Structure 1
Amino acid sequence: MNKFIKNIIAFSLKNKAFTFVWVGILAIAGFVSFKNMPIEAFPDVTNTQIIIITQWNGRSAEEVERFVTTPIELSMSSVQKKSNIRSNTMFGLSIVTINFEDGVEDFFARNQVNVQLQTVDLPDGTEVEVQPPFGPTGEIFRYILHSPKKDSRELLTLQNWVVDRAIRSVPGIADVSVFGGQEKIFELNLDPRKLEQYKLTTAQVFEAVESSNLNVGGDVIERSGQSYVVRGIGLLQSTSDIENVIIRNDSGNPVLVRNVATVQEGSLPRVGQAGYNDMSDVVEGIVIMRKGENPLEVLEGVKAKIEELNTKILPKDVKLITVYDRKDLMDFTTSTIMHNLIEGIIFVTVIVFLFMADWRTTLIVSIVIPLSLLFAF
C-alpha cells in the first residue's frame, strides 16, 4: 500500500502539468455538482408508504370500522413486500396505511394497492382515495388568502376553485391542504304550513331541486348549411335559480320552491378555524411536495404560480401572503454549514502553521480540505 501511494506521488511530481489539469477539472466538476445538488433541510428517509382514505359521511366509527376499514385491511394483506398495515377509524372516515420494506419503489407498491383495492366490496356512498406519494417532511410552503372586503366564505370558494387547481399544476406538488374558512352552501328553510297547503312532502321538494341541478344534451339543428347544437342549461348558481325551481304543476299553475320555502346562502358546520397574527378567521393553504422531488425547483414553481395568481388571476382585492417558506430554512442551514466549514479551514490552517512553522506545508493542508470536499461531490 505504501508503495502504491509513493508511486502516485512520484507520478504527480514528474507530470505536474497533467496533475494540475486533472485537479482543476475535478474541482470544476465538483463545484458544478455542488451547485446542482438538491438541498433539503429535512431529508425524507422513510420507507415507501401508501395511504388509503375512505369517507362514508354520517356513519359511526363502529360502522366504518366494520364495513370499510376491515374489508380494506383484509384485501391489503395479500400485498407483497409490505412490512405492516395500520388503520385509524373515526366518525365517517377510515384511514389505512400500508408501510413497505426497504428498497420498494413507490410505483410497485402503488400498483399493487390499486389492484387489490378494486376487489374490495364497499357500501354505496363511500368515497375512496389513494393519497399521492409524499413523506412526513413534505410540507414546504404555507400561505393565507387575505382580502379587506371578502369574508372567509368567499375566500374559501376562491381557494377551492381557483388557487388549489393552479398550485396543483406545478410539477412536483403532491397535495394542497386547506384550513379555516366557511364552505358555502344553499339552505332551504321549508314552511310546514305551506307544504300542507300545497300537499307536498319534503322528499318531493328535495327531488325537484336535485333533478333541476343539471345540464342536458339535446340534438343538432341544421339550417343554411350550419349546425346548431341544442342543450338545456339547468345548473343552479344562485338563490333565485333555486327559488324558481318548479316542484309540481297543478292544472297549469306551477308550484315553485319560493312558494313553500325560503332560500339563503349558508355555511357547513365548522370543525375548526385558522388564525394568523391579529386575524382570527383566515383561509390557510399548505403545499405538500411529492416524495423524491427537488425542493428548490418545486418552490420556484410555486412562487412563480403565486405571483401569477396575485397579478393576473385573482380579484384585485385578494392576495396570497406567504406564511412559511422552506427555502428560508434551507438557506439558513446552508449558510451555517458554509460558516462552520470556513471556520474549520481557518482553525486547521492556523494550528498547522503554529506546529509546523512552514508556510508551504500549511498551504498544502489548507488547499487539500476544500479540494477533498469538491472531489466528494
Structure 2
Amino acid sequence: MIERLISLSLRNRGVVLLLAAGLLVWGIFSIRASKIDAIPDLSENQVIVFTEWAGRGPQIIEDQVTYPLVTNLQGLAQVRAVRAASMFGMSFVYVIFNDNTDIYWARERVLERLNYAQRLLPAGLTPTLGPDGTGVGHVLWYTLHAPKLDLGEQRALQDWYVKFGLQTVPGVSEVASFGGFQPEYQVTVDPTKLTYYNVSLPQVLAAVRQNNNEAGGRKFEQGGTGYIIKTSGYIQDVATLENVPVLTRPGGVPLRLRDLGTVQMTGESRLGIFDHNGQGEAVGGIVVMRYGENADDVITRVKAKMTEVAKGLPAGVSFDIVYDRSGLIEESVANIKHTLLEEMAVVSLVVLVFLFHWRSALSILLQIPITIAASFILLNAFGISSNIMSLTGIALAIGVIVDNGIVMAENAYRNLALHQAAEEAAAGAPPGSSPGFSPAQTVPLSTPEPVHHD
C-alpha cells in the first residue's frame, strides 16, 4: 500500500504539490480562526443549580432543598456525577456531564428536570442555573475609580448601569459585581411594642408589602382628551416608610410603623470587603466568558464596550482594570512564536550544513510550515484553543518532523543507489568502474587460504 502511494505521488508530482499548497492555505486560515487563550480549559463539563432560602440553616437546606434536587437530577442522560453543597441560606448542586456532551443540551435537560423537582421544594423557592461559563472564564476584573461617590452609590452605579452595559458584549456570560454594599431600608421592630399593641410580625410584613406597590386605574376621556388614572405607592424615602399604617386603633388613630420600631437606610450584611492595593475598599465587577469562546476576542470587545459605557458615567468616575488575561495571552503566544521561528531557523541551518544538497534540504524544510499549519486544522476540529500547552507541543514536534524528512531523504538516496548499481550490474559493468577497466581485471579483496591434507 505504501509503495503504491509513493509510486502514485511520484507519477503525479503536480497534484501532490497542489494538495500541499491547498493544505497550507487551509492551515493559514485555521490559524487566523483559532481560539487563543493563555491556559487550557481543563474544567469539568458541569451545570450549576443555585437555590437561595434566606435565614435557613445548613441542615434545613440539606434536607428540604439539596436532597430533593440531587435525587431528581441523578437520573439525567449522560450525567457522570452529581455533587452538592449546603450552607446557610444557600444550596449549590453541581451536575457533571460527560466531556463530549454539548453544554447547552445539558442545560436544557437540567431545566426540564427542575420543572418537576421544584414541586418537591418548599413554597416560594425557585432554583436557578448558574452562568454558562467555566472555572477559567474569569478573563477580566475591573474596579470603579470614583473618589466623589460613597460605596453604596458606586455599587448602585455598577449594578444598574455598568453591569447591564457589559453584559451585552458577545461572548460574555455574566458580569459579577463585588465590593461596596447594596442600599436597603432596614426596619427594626421592638418586641415589647408588638406585644403592647397586640401586633404580630406577619402583620408588619404585610403592611410594608401592601404600601410599597403601584395600583392601576382606568382610562377616561374628557373634552376629547384621554386620561389614565394610576396610583404610585412606592416608598421613596425613610419618612414615607415610617408613616406606613399597620392597623387602625380604636378611635380611628392609625398605628404607624415608627410606633413599633425604628426605620433607617443602611446596607445589607456583608461577609467581606474588597480592598484594592491597600488603598481602601473598591467596587467593581468580574467579566465571565461564555463556554467555548475566544478569550482574546472577548477581552477586546469588552474593552471597546468599556469605552462606550465610560461616556455615560458621572464626572470623575473611570474604569481601573485590575486583572486582564489578554496580557498573559499575548506574552504566551509571542513567546511560543519566537521559539517556533528560532527552531525553524536552526533546523534549516542544520539541514543545509549536514545534507549539503539544496533540493533535499528544501523538501525537508517545506514540511515544517505545512505540518504546523495542518496541526491548527486539527486543533480547530477538536475544539482545542491555541494555548501554552498546545503551542509548546507543536514546537516540540518540529524535531520529529525534521527527523522524518531526513530519514525519508536518506532512504530515497539509498534506494536510488541500489537501483543504479543493479542497472550497472545488468549492463555488465561493475559499480563505479572507470573506462578501460574490465571485470577480468578485478582482484578479489581476500583470497582463501589453501587447505592442507595430512
Fold shared by both chains (TM-score > 0.5): yes
User: Is 1:97 aligned to 2:94, yes or no?
Assistant: yes
Paired with 1:21 and 1:100, the residues of 2 have a C-alpha distance of 43
User: Is 1:106 aligned to 2:103, yes or no?
Assistant: yes
2:135 aligns with 136
Deviates more, 1:164-173 or 1:230-239: 164-173
User: Is 1:5 aligned to 2:6, yes or no?
Assistant: yes
Contact 1:275-1:281 within 8 A present in 2 as well: yes
Deviates more, 1:76-85 or 1:104-113: 104-113
- Alpha-carbon deviation of 1:142? 0.8
Paired with 1:159 and 1:294, the residues of 2 have a C-alpha distance of 25
Contact 1:50-1:130 within 8 A present in 2 as well: yes
1:221 aligns with 220
SS in structure 2 at match of 1:280:
coil
- Alpha-carbon deviation of 1:129? 1.0
- Alpha-carbon deviation of 1:252? 6.2
Paired with 1:85 and 1:260, the residues of 2 have a C-alpha distance of 47
Paired with 1:154 and 1:255, the residues of 2 have a C-alpha distance of 33
User: Is 1:266 aligned to 2:263, yes or no?
Assistant: no
1:298 aligns with 298
Letter in 2 for 1:146: H
Pair 241,90 (structure 1): closer, same or farther in 2 beyond 3 Å? same
Contact 1:58-1:92 within 8 A present in 2 as well: yes
Gaps of 5+ in 1: none
Deviates more, 1:201-210 or 1:365-374: 201-210
Paired with 1:63 and 1:98, the residues of 2 have a C-alpha distance of 21
Letter in 2 for 1:238: D
Give CA-to-partner distance per residue, 1:286-340, whole Å, 9 cap, x none.
111111122233223322222122112x212222211112221221121111111
Aligned-residue sequence identity (percent) comes to: 31
Give CA-to-partner distance per residue, 1:13-43, whole Å, 9 cap, x none.
xx4xx77666555434332321122112233
Matches within 5 A, 1:1-377: 1-12=2-13, 15=14, 24-120=21-117, 121-189=120-188, 199=197, 201=199, 203=201, 204-248=203-247, 256-258=256-258, 261-312=261-312, 314-376=313-375, 377=377
Letter in 1 for 2:235: L
Contact 2:146-2:316 within 8 A present in 1 as well: yes
Letter in 2 for 1:188: V
Pair 142,228 (structure 1): closer, same or farther in 2 beyond 3 Å? same
Letter in 1 for 2:39: F
Paired with 1:166 and 1:226, the residues of 2 have a C-alpha distance of 39
User: How many residues get paired?
Assistant: 371
- Alpha-carbon deviation of 1:375? 3.9
Letter in 2 for 1:357: F
Aligned residues: CA RMSD: 2.7
SS in structure 2 at match of 1:118:
helix
Paired with 1:307 and 1:194, the residues of 2 have a C-alpha distance of 54
Contact 1:73-1:96 within 8 A present in 2 as well: yes
Letter in 2 for 1:113: V
Deviates more, 1:1-10 or 1:65-74: 1-10
Greater Rg by CA? 2
Pair 119,156 (structure 1): closer, same or farther in 2 beyond 3 Å? same
Letter in 2 for 1:93: M
Pair 80,19 (structure 1): closer, same or farther in 2 beyond 3 Å? closer
Deviates more, 1:243-252 or 1:280-289: 243-252
Deviates more, 1:315-324 or 1:293-302: 293-302
- Alpha-carbon deviation of 1:148? 0.6
- Alpha-carbon deviation of 1:200? 6.8
SS in structure 2 at match of 1:150:
coil
- Alpha-carbon deviation of 1:59? 0.9
**TM-score, length basis structure 1:** 0.88
Paired with 1:192 and 1:356, the residues of 2 have a C-alpha distance of 96
Paired with 1:316 and 1:264, the residues of 2 have a C-alpha distance of 29
Paired with 1:125 and 1:97, the residues of 2 have a C-alpha distance of 22
- Alpha-carbon deviation of 1:281? 1.0
* More strand as a share of residues: 1
Paired with 1:233 and 1:306, the residues of 2 have a C-alpha distance of 35
Contact 1:274-1:284 within 8 A present in 2 as well: no
Paired with 1:21 and 1:328, the residues of 2 have a C-alpha distance of 39
Give CA-to-partner distance per residue, 1:104-154, whole Å, 9 cap, x none.
222332222222212221113434111132222111111112211112222
Contact 2:9-2:16 within 8 A present in 1 as well: no
Pair 241,60 (structure 1): closer, same or farther in 2 beyond 3 Å? same
Paired with 2:56 and 2:9, the residues of 1 have a C-alpha distance of 75
SS in structure 1 at match of 2:184:
strand
Deviates more, 1:2-11 or 1:93-102: 2-11
Paired with 2:18 and 2:67, the residues of 1 have a C-alpha distance of 66
Paired with 1:266 and 1:325, the residues of 2 have a C-alpha distance of 33
Contact 1:56-1:127 within 8 A present in 2 as well: no
Give CA-to-partner distance per residue, 1:73-113, whole Å, 9 cap, x none.
11112212211111111111111111112322223322222
Contact 2:114-2:127 within 8 A present in 1 as well: no
Paired with 1:28 and 1:105, the residues of 2 have a C-alpha distance of 30
- Alpha-carbon deviation of 1:189? 4.6
Pair 260,317 (structure 1): closer, same or farther in 2 beyond 3 Å? farther
Contact 2:43-2:136 within 8 A present in 1 as well: no
**TM-score, length basis structure 2:** 0.74
SS in structure 1 at match of 2:311:
helix
Gaps of 5+ in 2: 378-454
Contact 2:24-2:369 within 8 A present in 1 as well: no
SS in structure 1 at match of 2:314:
coil
Paired with 2:65 and 2:190, the residues of 1 have a C-alpha distance of 38
